[in-house]
């Protein structure tokens, strides 16, 4: 499977938790109910999912090098981190993002330790 884009992101968990707790925060509309359930609203787990969304956008952007971006911040809400029966993460794309990236596989790795959460995303064609 040829790789078409790679992205990574690092999130400072305490700062992220502060932003998450702010009234009217924009994060509320970015996480799906499944992501909130899987993360059990733990800041480090949500920060890792945020990092995955950001890393995905970076990987997608890398795949478009030399071309205009297709979508803005609304793409973040159309990327969901899901888990399989063994708790391995995967990205599920829907809406316009899924239509734009039909035939593209999105692979993700998540990590969090102490004050930091990170994600690494690789996009490949089937």
**Gap between the Cα atoms of 5 and 98, Å rounded:** 16
Contact 49, 98 (CB under 8 A): no
User: Which letter does DSSP use for residue 25 in this model?
Assistant: -
**Gap between the Cα atoms of 48 and 120, Å rounded:** 10
Is 115 known to sit in a ligand binding site?
no
Is 105 known to sit in a ligand binding site?
no
CA torsion angle 38 43 48 51 (round to 10): 130
Q: Which parts are annotated binding residues? A: 9, 54
Q: Which parts are annotated binding residues for Mg(2+)? A: 9, 54
């Amino acid at each position: 499977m040829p790789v078409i884009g790679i992205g990574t992101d690092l999130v400072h968990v305490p700062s992220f938790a502060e932003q998450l707790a702010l009234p009217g925060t924009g994060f509320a509309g970015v996480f799906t109910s499944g992501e909130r359930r899987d993360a059990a609203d733990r800041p480090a787990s949500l920060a890792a999912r945020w990092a995955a969304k950001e890393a995905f956008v970076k990987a997608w952007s890398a795949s478009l090098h030399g071309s205009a971006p297709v979508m803005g911040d609304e793409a973040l809400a159309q990327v969901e981190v899901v888990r399989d029966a063994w708790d391995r993460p995967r990205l599920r794309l829907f809406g316009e993002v899924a239509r734009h990236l039909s035939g593209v596989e999105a692979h993700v790795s998540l990590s969090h330790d102490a004050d930091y959460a990170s994600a690494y995303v690789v996009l490949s064609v089937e």
